């Protein structure tokens, strides 16, 4: 049950309520639901609800409707993000775990780890102890296999996850593994769940082949009640009448569980289908359905694998799958997680450079909480990144240049509205600020208002001019609405949230993202009101270039820069632009964008904004840039960075 506390409860009263619950046999935990402080009480305790309600500081007592209290979204509104070293599962990132079904030798697990890491996996999986249907099948190498796996994980900076099959082994394995896996066969081995949960380490809980969703969540409840706070649910297919695949992947379980529980959900497509050729399709379907990650079986030579070879991907197949996931991620509003590949890089700060006092510096963006720029920031740096809100784009550049922010995030181009010229101009005014990454964010606009409002009551709508233009078809259906322009979409939502006039509360709405609605406590009246759903904004990540190379944001990992942005002008004579473009063509450099814009104060003279792909041979690119500089009247190199797919 949940004990809702009064707003200004004293510490003494809180302690008295906590003591009352413990005396009556409950396990007590501190919680929050929005701005409301709660005490959660779980276990087999018994108490008189009426007596509890009369204690000082108790506003009300609510019984949860789910038997899995700790795992239920009723007791925790926000999504849990499980951290295993630098790996985070949940939130806006897609985390991929890869490795063989079983550790067969030191050489095999090291080779697999190397290939998985090179393709982008962030955790290493593998079985040291293998529960098998046949007593004569390969059962794993035991502790020796786990030691090999731990060494491979450390060599490639990959936390490891491995299955524990009995309570007796849990203590022995605890020092070597970073995350325990409870296999499908052991999902309802309650003594094992209680033992593993008591160790407090992150746990990957696979769904049993015949388990209902409620039974699966109740198994998670065992782990949470025993002591661990970090449980990741893994859908790996259920047993049905269909025999063509090994199991039937329950795609519908992903959105269902995410609505019922705050725990992250990943999918094991390898065990779900059991057929190598079908794994990639199932994996991509899982990402499209909202999974927070995948665990995939790969093997250097699947045909010779001692366990589950037919469902294990060849390294080349896994590499293609990772590229497909990277391309799909922005469509579902997420980013593929990347982490440093070497332990040395991992030891250094990655999300932001340290400030003078040792604290991590924030990332700057323009707008209020819930702004699209903040969503791009979260995609690049994660939910835990410190944030510095600014009023203008130039303030973002100033914060980066002055060392108040380690990075900045600004929009550079929208797929419908075109380039943000102001920010191109700012790059030329701030030559020590450079582009180090990019994020392409799908823009989904919503009509947002106070709880008391409805679509029929709206009279005034506030948003940024681009928000209005991108929702033109929807607004045309409501010609009587008055449109008010604001600096950005999130600020428009904030203004509606702050309205105190009784009439305005019911009649004012804003156009912005659902994240802005959530950030400011408003409701979404209608989602997806943009005229063209193919509406993307390309945000760039800024860093200060002090001559030693600007830092790289964590979402870029150790990827090699393969894209560059340039601005240049040419002489006012025949063939001048052609001459510049010819240089790129002759060097085999692909031009992915070219746009002209008038130069302020110089009528009929133009700047050209260009994006180019950097070839594998960096010397060729450097030579072409040198020739282009010599040919152009003015030249600005805005930065080189990994392209966002």
Contact 220, 71 (CB under 8 A): yes
CA distance 31 to 546: 44
Q: What residue spans in the chain does CATH classification 3.30.70.260 cover? A: 559-645
H/E run at residue 296? strand 293-297
In this predicted structure, the answer to whether residue 136 has a pLDDT above a threshold of 50 is yes
Sheet strands (E) in 190-264: 203-206, 231-235
Q: What residue spans in the chain does CATH classification 3.40.190.10 cover? A: 446-527
CA distance 150 to 306: 20
**pLDDT of amino acid 606:** 87
pTM greater than the 0.95 cutoff: no
Q: What residue spans in the chain does CATH classification 3.20.20.70 cover? A: 92-130+141-336
Could you confirm whether domain 446-527 is CATH 3.40.190.10?
A: yes
| Residues belonging to the chain | 645
pLDDT digit string (tens) for 580-617? 999 999 999 999 999 998 887 777 788 999 999 999 88
pLDDT digit string (tens) for 175-193? 999 999 999 999 999 999 9
CA distance 505 to 128: 61
Contact 364, 352 (CB under 8 A): no
**pLDDT of amino acid 25:** 85
Could you confirm whether domain 2-62 is CATH 1.10.8.60?
A: no
Mapping DSSP to helix (H, G, I), strand (E, B) and coil, where does residue 89 land?
Answer: strand
Structure token pair of residue 198: 């008591």
CA distance 508 to 324: 42
Q: Given this structure, which CATH class describes domain 92-130+141-336?
A: alpha beta
In this predicted structure, the answer to whether residue 513 has a pLDDT above a threshold of 70 is yes
Q: Given this structure, which CATH class describes domain 559-645?
A: alpha beta
In this predicted structure, the answer to whether residue 64 has a pLDDT above a threshold of 90 is no
**pLDDT of amino acid 7:** 81
pLDDT digit string (tens) for 69-96? 889 988 788 899 999 998 999 988 899 9
Residue owning tokens 């046999």: 25
> CA angle, 467 as apex, 463 and 473 as ends, to 5°?
115
**pLDDT of amino acid 356:** 41
**pLDDT of amino acid 63:** 67
User: What's 614's DSSP letter?
Assistant: P
Mapping DSSP to helix (H, G, I), strand (E, B) and coil, where does residue 304 land?
Answer: helix
Mapping DSSP to helix (H, G, I), strand (E, B) and coil, where does residue 228 land?
Answer: coil
Can you tell me the mean pLDDT for 110-127?
A: 95
407 given a catalytic annotation: no
**pLDDT of amino acid 42:** 73
* 62 Cβ contact partners less than 8 Å away, ≥ 6 residues apart: 1, 2, 4
**pLDDT of amino acid 638:** 93
H/E run at residue 364? strand 363-366
Contact 86, 346 (CB under 8 A): yes
CA distance 611 to 566: 6
pLDDT digit string (tens) for 18-44? 898 888 888 887 876 556 677 877 766
% of the chain surpassing 90 pLDDT: 67
Integer CA distances (angstroms), 333 to 266, 417, 441, in order: 16, 20, 7
In this predicted structure, the answer to whether residue 438 has a pLDDT above a threshold of 60 is yes
365, 397, 407, 539: the catalytic one is 539
- Which is more confident, 56 or 351? 56
Can you tell me the mean pLDDT for 411-428?
A: 88
Confidence of residue 331 (pLDDT cuts 50, 70, 90): confident
Contact 14, 32 (CB under 8 A): no
> CA angle, 17 as apex, 14 and 18 as ends, to 5°?
85
Integer CA distances (angstroms), 259 to 231, 264, 384, 568, 630, in order: 16, 11, 23, 51, 59
CA distance 490 to 512: 6
DSSP assignment of 408-450 equals EEEEEEETTTEE-HHHHHHHHH-TTEEEEEEEEEE---EEEE-
In this predicted structure, the answer to whether residue 557 has a pLDDT above a threshold of 80 is no
Query: What CA dihedral angle connects 619, 622, 624 and 627, to 10 degrees?
Result: -130
Q: Which of 194, 232, 240 is nearest to 216 (CA)?
A: 232
295 given a catalytic annotation: no
180, 468, 537, 621: the catalytic one is 537
% of the chain surpassing 70 pLDDT: 94
Calculate the average pLDDT of the chain. Answer: 89
């Amino acid at each position: 049950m949940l004990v809702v506390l009064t707003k200004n409860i004293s510490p003494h009263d809180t302690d008295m309520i906590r003591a009352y619950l413990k005396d009556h046999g409950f396990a007590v935990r501190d919680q929050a639901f929005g701005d409301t402080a709660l005490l959660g009480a779980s276990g087999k305790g018994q108490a008189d609800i009426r007596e509890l309600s009369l204690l000082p500081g108790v506003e009300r007592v609510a019984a949860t409707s789910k038997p899995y209290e700790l795992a239920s979204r009723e007791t925790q509104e926000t999504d849990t993000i499980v951290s295993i070293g630098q790996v985070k599962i949940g939130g806006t990132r897609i985390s991929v775990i890869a490795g063989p079904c079983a550790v067969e030798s030191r050489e095999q697990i090291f080779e697999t780890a190397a290939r998985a890491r090179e393709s982008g996996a962030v955790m290493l999986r593998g079985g040291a102890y293998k529960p098998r249907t046949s007593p004569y099948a390969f059962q794993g190498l035991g502790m020796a296999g786990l030691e090999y796996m731990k060494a491979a994980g450390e060599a490639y900076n990959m936390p490891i996850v491995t299955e524990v099959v009995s309570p007796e082994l849990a203590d022995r394995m605890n020092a070597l593994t970073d995350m325990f896996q409870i296999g499908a066969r052991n999902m309802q081995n309650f003594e094992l769940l209680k033992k593993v949960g008591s160790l407090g380490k992150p746990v990957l809980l696979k769904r049993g082949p015949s388990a209902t969703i409620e039974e699966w969540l109740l198994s998670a409840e065992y782990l949470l009640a025993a002591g661990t706070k970090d449980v990741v649910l893994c859908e790996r297919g259920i047993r049905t009448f269909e025999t063509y695949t090994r199991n039937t992947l329950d795609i519908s379980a992903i959105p269902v569980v995410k609505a019922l529980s705050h725990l992250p959900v990943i999918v094991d497509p390898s065990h779900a289908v059991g057929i190598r050729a079908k794994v990639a399709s199932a994996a991509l379907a899982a990402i499209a359905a909202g999974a927070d990650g995948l665990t995939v079986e790969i093997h250097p030579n699947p045909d010779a694998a001692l366990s589950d070879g037919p469902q294990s991907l060849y390294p080349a197949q896994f590499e293609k799958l990772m590229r497909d996931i990277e391309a799909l991620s922005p469509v579902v509003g997420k980013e593929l997680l990347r982490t440093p590949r070497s332990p040395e890089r991992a030891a250094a700060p990655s999300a932001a450079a340290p400030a003078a006092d040792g604290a991590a510096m924030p990332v700057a963006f323009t707008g209020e909480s819930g702004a699209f720029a903040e969503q791009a920031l979260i995609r690049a740096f994660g939910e835990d990144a410190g944030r510095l809100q600014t009023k203008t784009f130039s303030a973002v550049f100033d914060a980066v240049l002055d060392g108040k922010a380690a990075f900045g995030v600004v929009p550079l181009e929208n797929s419908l509205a075109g380039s943000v010229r102001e920010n191109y101009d700012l790059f030329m005014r701030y030559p020590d600020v450079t582009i180090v990454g990019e994020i392409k964010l799908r823009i989904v606009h919503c009509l947002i208002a106070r709880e008391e409002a409805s679509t029929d009551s709206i009279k005034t709508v506030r948003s940024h001019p681009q928000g209005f233009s991108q929702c033109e078809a929807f607004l045309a259906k409501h010609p009587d609405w008055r449109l008010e322009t604001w600096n950005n979409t999130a600020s428009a939502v904030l203004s509606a949230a702050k309205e105190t006039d009784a009439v305005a509360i019911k009649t004012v709405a804003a156009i912005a993202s659902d994240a802005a609605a959530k950030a400011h406590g408003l409701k979404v009246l209608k989602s997806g009101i943009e005229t063209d759903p193919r509406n993307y904004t390309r945000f760039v990540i800024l860093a200060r270039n002090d001559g030693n190379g600007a830092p790289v944001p964590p979402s870029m990992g150790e990827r090699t820069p393969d894209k560059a942005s340039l601005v240049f002008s040419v002489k006012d004579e025949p063939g001048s632009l052609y001459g510049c473009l010819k240089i790129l063509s002759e060097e085999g450099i692909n031009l992915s964008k070219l746009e002209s814009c008038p130069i302020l104060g110089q009528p009929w003279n133009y700047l050209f904004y260009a994006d180019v792909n950097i070839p594998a041979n960096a010397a060729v690119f450097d030579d072409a840039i040198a020739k282009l500089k010599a040919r152009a009247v003015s030249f600005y190199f805005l930065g080189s960075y990994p392209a966002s797919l």
